[in-house]
Structure 1
Amino acid sequence: YTSCAICIVILLLTSISCRENKRTDRRSITSKTFSLPDIPPIISEANERKNYLTAHYWDNLAQCDTILLQDESIEQAFVHYIALLEEYPTEIAQLHITNSLQKMKASSAWQKRLIDLAEHYLFDAGSPLMNESLYIPFAECALASGRLDTYQQDQMRYRLEIAHRNQPGSQATDFQFLRADGHKSSLHQTQAPQLLLVFYDPECQNCQAILEDLASNSILQRLQNQNRIKVLMIYTEGDEAIWQAHKNHHPKGWISGFDQNEKIKQKPLYDLRAMPSIYLLDADKKVIFKDVLPEKIIPYLEKTIP
């Protein structure tokens, strides 16, 4: 992320000029490389420059030859674009995306290219930039484009359903689970000022590594000692023998739970495309962070320490 941030700062603090590089393929086709828009000199305030750049980020894309559809510079520009959007509240960022895609309506090839990049970077569970909130307007544009066949439409609707489910600001879907002491409970019955909800598989190596990092994190430990957060671990894979073998291996104070009927995964109530899947909830079980890595949650928690 650091390199992206540096690039963005440079873009905001300097005037961005259009550049044209002449490229000739075997058929002697000359085409433009993608260039960011010129920010009018009259706009000097940093925040206004950022707003202008975000609103007009893709204005020059329609002028690029489609021979550049797979050009690496487009992909890198998209990554920088996402970094810019994350500076805004979700609703404003989504509006920027919708407006940009609407302006590209006549350039269907480029519009589709951005939608494909959004799927790769914003929806793929393995992407470090995964952000379903930002993916939503891209998916909505794809559905409205008329370019999808029936199967693709069903697939896109399902992705939208997943993306909309348990969004930050909404109340997390309730579910029942079996506790390590044999009693049944539910998510909404688990009282805590903040709740770190972790869906995991004890036989998943990636889960083990991330959970070890969480267990040793001093900020999380401090908040737990102050009774300001609880950790709820939910095993969703249905093999009770595996859960029984691992249920007491968690740090002291962590709650171990088992989804006996696999309702969480089968309905599905939560998007469990990758493990672990980590959520941060407030006292009312409203989602603060959805399916993110600890690197995003821990700095937020650190700010809550008095």
Structure 2
Amino acid sequence: MKSLIYSLWLSISVMSLFLCSCKDNKKTEKQKNDIVQQNSKPMSSADSTLFHFWDKFEMQDTAQVKNPEKGEQQLADFLQLLAQVPDSATRDSAVSLMLDKAKVNRSSFDYFIKQYEHYLYDGNSPMRNDIIYESVLRYLIKTDLLSDLEKEAYRPTYKLVLRNKEGQTAEDFSYELVNGKKQKLSDTKAKYTFLIFYDPDCSHCKETIQQLRDTPQLVQLFTQLQVQVLAIDPWGDRTKWKNYQSQLADQWINGFDSESKVLSFNLYDLKASPTIYLLNENKKVLLKDTYLQQVIAYFVKNNQ
């Protein structure tokens, strides 16, 4: 079992280098000491590096800020460090320190806010990360730099990133089967549920689905680990959904959101296609807005 999982993870990871998410074109695109002292535990060396990461960066120098090899690279490196931080309080503090420093120059502040969105929330970004973006949004809806109207623009996205977080119970919804019967996500009986929202017009959806369907080792692994694939078309075009059935495996649950509730009520944040979640048997979210290779990596870590 272990060797099977490892070989799958390596092969899927290699294939993923040549794939990118289909951008959803159906939805609208796209100080230090005070904060440190608030932490009751001693600061680790990693935290110290994070909190002092922007000390020598000159926010007033707009040319430096907007130079991709300077400002953008600095932010990318900062995000890599943030991704390793396990607790939200430290992430919030680090992001607040950085943006407080950027506030001295509104042009720099606006530039970095756009870069945060691009890296963390854009459907095509391999670094997209709702957990970190949550810290950014939490800052934006509280900062005194923005007007109330500007803050309100971020609240809908903030509500979305708070939904279906890892550890939470996934939002339940109904879907229609090919035979016309209705079921709910909560009806799924399996140790794991691989929930994939796909767009029939999305090329990357097709590639991901083909990997799931046609890779013998992956099919074997999902069978051994009792993984049920639940493929949902949420876009509301019944004809396209029916014409797409041949692309899906017979052992999967193939559903259609006939009432468009997933999108209408923003039950899930479908900023990219496909959007993938891994759920446990109680429908708790194990992985949110993830990739196939990350699911395999999860199995590597938790089924040895």
Corresponding position of 2:244: 246
1:88 aligns with 2:85: yes
Give the partner amino acid of 2:85. Y
Identity %: 28
Show CA shifts across 1:231-255 (max 9, x none).
Answer: 1000111122222222353124211
Separation of aligned partners in 2, 1:50 and 1:97: 11
Give the partner amino acid of 1:134. I
Give the partner amino acid of 2:91. Q
Separation of aligned partners in 2, 1:63 and 1:205: 41
CA change 1:199–1:189 in 2 (3 A) is same
Q: Secondary structure at the match of 2:154?
A: helix
Offset, 1:106: 5.4
Q: Secondary structure at the match of 1:61?
A: coil
Corresponding position of 1:192: 190
Separation of aligned partners in 2, 1:52 and 1:238: 49
Corresponding position of 2:174: 176
Q: Which runs of 5+ in 1 are unaligned?
A: 1-46
Corresponding position of 2:230: 232
Give the partner amino acid of 1:66. T
Offset, 1:149: 4.5
Corresponding position of 1:154: 152
Q: Secondary structure at the match of 2:286?
A: strand
Of residues 93, 98, 101, the one that matches 2:98 is 101
Given that residues 54 and 96 in structure 1 are in contact (C-alpha distance below 8 angstroms), is that contact kept between their aligned partners in structure 2?
no
Separation of aligned partners in 1, 2:141 and 2:61: 25
Corresponding position of 1:144: 142
Given that residues 85 and 91 in structure 2 are in contact (C-alpha distance below 8 angstroms), is that contact kept between their aligned partners in structure 1?
no
Corresponding position of 1:68: 64
Q: Which moved more, 1:207-216 or 1:232-241?
A: 207-216
Given that residues 192 and 227 in structure 2 are in contact (C-alpha distance below 8 angstroms), is that contact kept between their aligned partners in structure 1?
yes
Given that residues 198 and 231 in structure 1 are in contact (C-alpha distance below 8 angstroms), is that contact kept between their aligned partners in structure 2?
yes
CA change 1:79–1:216 in 2 (3 A) is farther
Separation of aligned partners in 2, 1:193 and 1:248: 26
Corresponding position of 2:48: 52
Where does structure 1 differ by over 6 angstroms across 4 or more consecutive aligned residues?
Answer: none
Corresponding position of 2:302: 304
Q: Which moved more, 1:295-304 or 1:218-227?
A: 218-227
Given that residues 276 and 291 in structure 2 are in contact (C-alpha distance below 8 angstroms), is that contact kept between their aligned partners in structure 1?
yes
Corresponding position of 1:120: 118
Show CA shifts across 1:169-217 (max 9, x none).
Answer: 2111000011233321101111211111000122322211121123344
TM-score, L = length of structure 2: 0.77
Given that residues 169 and 286 in structure 1 are in contact (C-alpha distance below 8 angstroms), is that contact kept between their aligned partners in structure 2?
yes
Corresponding position of 1:292: 290
Give the partner amino acid of 2:171. T
Separation of aligned partners in 2, 1:84 and 1:50: 8
Separation of aligned partners in 1, 2:287 and 2:144: 33
Give the partner amino acid of 1:57. F
Q: Which moved more, 1:208-217 or 1:192-201?
A: 208-217
Show CA shifts across 1:99-140 (max 9, x none).
Answer: 423652752534444322211101111111100110112122
Show CA shifts across 1:13-62 (max 9, x none).
Answer: xxxxxxxxxxxxxxxxxxxxxxxxxxxxxxxxxx9543321121112225
CA change 1:93–1:130 in 2 (3 A) is farther
Give the partner amino acid of 2:50. T
Corresponding position of 1:276: 274
Q: Secondary structure at the match of 1:207?
A: helix
Separation of aligned partners in 2, 1:90 and 1:296: 21
Separation of aligned partners in 2, 1:104 and 1:204: 41
Q: Which runs of 5+ in 2 are unaligned?
A: 1-42
Q: Which moved more, 1:172-181 or 1:58-67?
A: 58-67
Q: Secondary structure at the match of 2:212?
A: helix
More relative contact order in 1 or in 2 (CA 8 Å, sep 6+)?
Answer: 2
Separation of aligned partners in 2, 1:98 and 1:240: 44
CA change 1:118–1:90 in 2 (3 A) is farther
CA change 1:64–1:146 in 2 (3 A) is closer
Corresponding position of 2:201: 203
